[in-house]
Each structure stands twice: as structure tokens, then as C-alpha cells.
Amino acid sequence: MNQRLETSSATGGAATEHISFELSGMTCAACATRIEKTLNKTPGVAEASVNLAMETARVVYRPSEVTPGEMQQRVEKIGYKATPQQEAKGGEDHRVTEIRKQKQRLWISAVLSLPLLWAMVGHFSWTTWIWVPAIFMNPWMQLVLAAPVQFYVGRHFYVSAYKALRSKSANMDVLVSLGTSAAFFYSVYVTLDWWFRGERHHSPELYFETSAVLITLVILGKLLEAQAKGRSSEAIKRLMGLQAQTARVVRDGVEIQIPVYEVLVGDLLNIRPGEKIPTDGVVVEGHSSVDESLLTGESFPLEKGVGDRLIGATINKNGMLSMRATQVGQGTILAQIVKVVEDAQGSKAPIQRIADVISGIFVPIVVGLALVTFVLWYAWFGQGDFAGALEKAIAVLVIACPCALGLATPTSIMAGSGRAAELGILFKGGEQLESAHHIDVVMLDKTGTVTEGKPSLTDVFTTTLDEAEFLRLVGGAERNSEHPLAEAIVHGVKDRGISLPQAEQFEAIPGYGVKAMIEGKSILVGTQRLMKMNEIAGQEDAWLEVVADLEGQAKTVMLVAIDGVFAGWVAVADSVKATSKAAIARLQAMGIRVMMMTGDNQRTADAVGRQVGVADVLAQVLPEDKAAHVKKQQDQGLRVAMVGDGINDAPALATADIGMAMGTGTDVAMEAAGVTLMSGDLHHVANTILMSRKTMGNIKQNLFWALGYNLLGIPIAALGLLAPWVAGAAMALSSVSVVLNALRLQRVKLK
């Protein structure tokens, strides 16, 4: 089953598991609301969320109190079917099965309803010129045609309505059953009355065509809706289709071709030019350029050599590569992307609460309005015209179906999050997709976000030691640090052909530098604050002026002390990303304030800020203080997006209203963030906000039209200005129009 172990603070720290069910039998938002309420009331369920468009339920539960089987029984008891997703994937897609059944019902219903519709058209005074076979006008013939539609094709409406009423609730099927049954059984009564009265010289006024055509139109609407909903999840299918199908594996010295799902961690794989990389791994031999644009959005192929990381489903362009598989199956980046998109599409945005509340009470209100309409027309406006009053009441029942309202939000979330994933933006859920459009301030980490994050050693100065010996000790002190600046120093020292000693003791001091013991010598490498903390002597003003000049050139300078005495410095430069300045200007043009945070000193930070057009620069910020700076902006009533890529950014990413982690960064940062940007290009930050704005605009359009449709349609139907079959057509088309409007998001083009 699709489960994972979690710890839920909401349950007092008790162990919980997560499971996803595929649901069948839902017809409208009221169905989704009822299933959700049933699951949430089940003892042992911590949280349940039902998505109408995806036809799924996501449940967090305590296995010590309830089992998946018991949850399935609860759902089935109220008239629906729940299947754990992993089991459902073993058989035919339930949506495909449902579409096939809907097509069969539609054909039967359409063939039987067409003669009734033909006879109805012949009743109008302005259509007397249309020839209608006499047999179609015969009440008994109409009964024979309508009965199979009512009780065979429409059987599932009765079954669903019965189960809903039995559980003391109501759904769309209650409305359809009431409306069509009223028309059908009234027509049966009129037919029998006509027969026993012996009035064979004229045909009575019947409504068999109303019930049959209504059922046909409802089925047509559900068929179109199901097909459209299938299109809204195509993003996942396209992502899964990126994966290579086979792999060339070297086993026992022989290259063999096997299905990609048989690749094991540690396998040696050969990738020829033009082939897809089968799974995640590292290059062990060869050199080539790799096109990662489909997953990361990087527009140019990236050069790959020994030791570089490869991502499954990307394309090897022009060289032979040998790689060692490090992740396979569900552990690959592509599989994780698909999982994130599935989770986002199955989640709810907070705005959906509006539709959920309305849908939960809508059906009983509509039934009441239909009864009021019938009474007013029968007792007042129609003065005893039972048939006319019934017709108006049926129109109210049918026009008011809340299907469009229930689909308004989830279809937009599905389409928007799916399109965002194709553009290299992964939203964790509907909440993040909604929140991003409110952002007032974007706070950027400098290293690896604004800059390339691949600094290089540029300047070296030593007071007393030989430069090679000085670098040997500095490199030895930094070799155990994972900071990008430390890596730059180590690489720079190695590139000069200097071997590095092993430190006997090592301590990383976040925000300050490192402390190590090498060959009996105490080594400090870091900021001026680190030197002051340790009361380092020997720093001359002239040297510090040179340091200030280097920092003004956007170079990061790290001071070095050996055995408590100042011994020199090393300078590292990190180039600004080519797209950072334009991307920041784009954010500012969108009305968003941009700030930059860094642990660097003020002069270096200001120099980088000038290069990219950021005036609000926070320097010498310790990792633990980044979250405090985010909170400070939030305390001013501003909604903040934090963008970073390192472990030290994780607290700030989690504190921000929206955390955006660069996919080129660490797993910890991506776990803490609500949005993962697959590319290191800052344009993706603006694209994230724009995608959120477009999705929220689409949701509001859907809600406006769905609510407006009901608020306008019900009075029109109550006033007798809509025939029931016209109301049925409008109801069916309203749901389809909402889904089609949401699908426009799949064509969104961003920079």
C-alpha cells in the first residue's frame, strides 16, 4: 500500500501511517464531503482529505486503532468504493473503466431517448412542419422507450440516492432521482388515466421525454467531465513517460541490456550518445554534455565528468559515459518529482473550504426550493396546474446540481501544479500553491542562490610562512568542512599540487569559520569576529585595508591564525549567476521587495548586492539568525518567501510563509521548503509566484461561474423560463466548462 510511517504532533506524538485510496461512486461535491466526514469521524483517523477531481482520499491514521480494511468498510457502508492506491494500480484504471461504462449507458440512453425527443419537438406550434411517426406519439410506446432509460440506465442514480439518504445525507443523485422520477411517474399516471377514460382521440401531455433526456444529458455531462478530468492529470503521465525503458548494465565484465526496473544500486551502466540516462548515479568514466532541461529547466546541456552526478531520464548528448547507479526505482529524483506532483494534485487549497461548506448544505436547500416552487405554481401562479408546477420544480432540482462548484478548485489545483512541475516548479501541496500569490517580500540567500555557489580561490597572503606551507595548513583545516567556501579553498590548494594533512581535531563554528589542530599547531580560519573571539594578535591596519579592498570587489576573505598569532588570509570569489540580475529586476517589477541575506561581511555583501540590483542586504547573518530575520518581516504584516539551498537555510525556509529550495541544493533544504525549484535560475522564483497568481485567478473564475450559475439558474427555473431538459443540458455543460477552464492552465507559458 501507498503508506509511510510518520509522527503526528496532532496525536500527541503517537505513530501514524499515511495511506491513499482511490474512490469510485462519487458524483458531486456532496459525495466527497460525506466521505471526508465519515473518514474523519472514524476512531483512529487523525486526518482525512478527499479530492473530487482526483477521486482520491488521503488519510493519516493510527494503525493501533484502525486498519485500512476498516476504513474501506466505512466508505462502502455509505455507498462508495475505496481501494488502496497501490492495489488499484495493479488493475485497470478505474477512471478508464468508468468512462467505458458511461459510454455504454450513453449509447443505450441516447438511442431510446431520440424518439421521445423527436415526439417532443413535434408538440411545438412552430414545429408542426416536422413529421413525427404516429407510433412515437403513442403514450404506451413512450412508456416502453422511457422505462429502460429510467430504471436500467438510471439505476445507479437510485442506488446512490438510496445509500445517501440512508446515511442521512443528500447528493446530486438525489436531485436527479427526484426530478426524473417525478416526471416519469406523473407521466405513467396520466397515461393510465388517459387509457381508463377512453380518450383515445387525442394524446395526453406527457413528460416521458423529460426524464429520459435528463438522464441522457446527465450521463453525457459526467462522461465529458471524466474525460476532461483525465486530461488534467496528464502532467504525471508525461513525467513518468520520461523514464528510460532499458539500461545497458555491465555484469561479470559483459554488457547486457535489461529493463530499467531491474537495475540495482551499485550497478555499472554504460550510456551511449543520444540515450536516456536510466537512473540516478555518478560518472565513473568518460566525459559528455547532458541535457537536463526536461527535469531542471536548465536551457543548456551541462558538462559531466568523473565524479559528477547524473539524473535519471536526462539525455546524454555527445560522449560515452559509464556511471555507477546510486538510486533506483522510487528513490530516483524523477520518482520523487512524480510523488510530489501526485501529493500536490491530491491536496486541498484553503480556498476550497468555501465550496466544501456550500456543497455540504446545498442539496437539502435545493429540495426545499423545489418544493416551494411547486407549491407556489400549483396554488398561486398556475392555479391548480399540477403538470406545470411539477415541470418548474423539476427544472429547479436539475439546474441546481452542485457538481461545478465541487470541481472548481481541485481541477485548477491539478492543472496548475501539473503545469508548474513541467516548468521545473514543484509545489508540495495546494496550500503552497495558493499562498505563493500573496508574497510581499522575497528573501534570498546569497551563496548558491544569487551566486553560482562554486567559488574559487583567488588571493593568498601570508605574513611569515612559505605560501605552500601556509596553504597546506589552511587546506588541512578546511578539508572536513562542507561549506562551499571551504570546498573552494581545498580545491584551490589541491590544484596547486599541495597535499593536505589530516587534522587531529576539527570543529566547524557556523557563521564564523573552523578550528583545527594539525601537527600540533592550532589553526583558525574564518571571519574577523572569529579572530576577535579568540583574541588573535598581530593584525596590522595596512593588511586590514587590503582585506577591505578585496571585500569591496565581492571577494570573501578568511583570516588565518596559527597558534594564536595572525598568519595571513585567503580570498575566495563566487561569481554571480548570469540570470540573477534580470530575475531580481523582474521580481521588483512585479511589486515584490527583494532582500538578500548572507554570512559574509557587509562590504562583500554590498558589492554583490550592487551587481544584482538589491539594496536591502543583510550581512554577517548567522544560520540561526536567518529565521529571526524572516520573522521580523512577518511581524510587520508582510508575507515572506525565503529562497535558499543550504542546510543552514532550512530553519528560515520552514519559518517563511513560502520556503523555496533550489533543487541544486541539499535534501534538508528541499524537505523544509514548500516549493522546490528544479533549476538554480532565479527566474523560477518569479515563475512560482506567477503560476500561483494564474492558478488562483483560475480558481476564482471557476467559483464565480459555478456560484453565479446556480444563483442565476435557480430563479430562472423557478420562474418557469427553463424547460427541464434545457436545465439538464445547462447543468451538464456547467461542469464541463469549469474543467475546461481549469485545463487552460496547462497551456501557460512563462519565462
Active site residues: 445
Neighbours of 567 (CB within 10 A): 24
For the CA atoms of 191, 192, 197, 201, what is the dihedral angle to 10 degrees? 30
640, 660 in Cβ contact below 8 A?
A: no
Return the C-alpha cell found at 143: 412508456
The three-state secondary structure class of 532 is helix
One-letter amino acid identity for 703? L
Angle between helices 68-77 and 29-40 (to 10 degrees): 140
407, 735 in Cβ contact below 8 A?
A: yes
CA 529 to chain centre: 44
End-to-end Cα separation, the chain, in angstroms: 39
Is the CA virtual torsion 417, 418, 419, 424 positive or negative?
Answer: positive
| Distance in angstroms (rounded) separating the CA atoms of residues 673 and 651 | 9
DSSP 410-479: HHHHHHHHHHHHHTTEEESSHHHHHHGGG--EEEEEIIIIIB-S--EEEEEEESSS-HHHHHHHHHHHHT
Residue 164 is inside which H or E element, if any? Answer: helix 155-166
Cell 405554481 maps to which residue?
Answer: 377
User: Any residues with CB less than 8 A from the CB of 105 and at least 6 apart, and which?
Assistant: 153, 219
Cell 553560482 maps to which residue?
Answer: 452
Cell 483525465 maps to which residue?
Answer: 230
313, 244 in Cβ contact below 8 A?
A: yes
303, 336 in Cβ contact below 8 A?
A: no
